[in-house]
Structure 1
Amino acid sequence: MIGLLVNDIEQQEIEYLIKRELEELLMDLDDNRIDRMVKVAMFKRYRILFQLFRRVANEKECLKYMPKKIKNK
């Protein structure tokens, strides 16, 4: 395990960046034009980013971005 020391401003910036990426992935996961195999890879990335997000965000924020299962999986 690797430790990481960040100050409050850096934590907020990390939280902001991860939130934007999670939102973009959620939007792309709802896009019907994207192939199912690509969506599976995107969902795996979403889960990894969400795990990182849980480390820097409070519980209320985490609930907004809880991962959902992929349809037709």
Structure 2
Amino acid sequence: MMGFLFTARECSEIEYLIRRELEELLLDLGDVRIDEMVKRAMEQRYKVLFKMYSRFVTPKELSKYIRNKKYK
């Protein structure tokens, strides 16, 4: 485990970057043209980013990015 010290502005920038990546992954995961193997890798990436994002935001904001089981 590593620890980092960020300023408030750096935290908001990281939050923004992760949020945009999560949104992009959600769109791509819904695309039927993408191969299942690629989607599995994208789902793993989504899980990692989701855990990172959960450290920066409130549970209310985090709930916007919870994936339904039906999409798997």
Q: What TM-score, normalized by structure 1, do the two folds share?
A: 0.89
Name the SS of the counterpart of 2:3 in structure 1: coil
Name the SS of the counterpart of 2:55 in structure 1: helix
Q: List runs of 5+ in structure 1 lacking aligned partners.
A: none
Q: Is the 8 A contact 1:46 1:67 kept in 2?
A: no
**Where do 1:3-14 residues align within 5 Å?**
3-14=3-14
Structure 1 counterpart of 2:63? 63
* RMSD, aligned CA: 1.1
CA distance in structure 2 between the partners assigned to 1:30 and 1:42 by the alignment = 11
Alpha-carbon offset, residue 68 of structure 1: 3.4
* Deviation digits for residues 2-28 of structure 1 (CA, Å, limit 9, x no counterpart): 111111111110000000000000000
Structure 1 counterpart of 2:51? 51
Q: Percent identity?
A: 55
Q: What TM-score, normalized by structure 2, do the two folds share?
A: 0.90
CA distance in structure 2 between the partners assigned to 1:68 and 1:41 by the alignment = 17
Name the SS of the counterpart of 1:17 in structure 2: helix
Alpha-carbon offset, residue 67 of structure 1: 3.1
Number of equivalent positions: 71
1:25 matches 2:19: no
Alpha-carbon offset, residue 45 of structure 1: 0.3
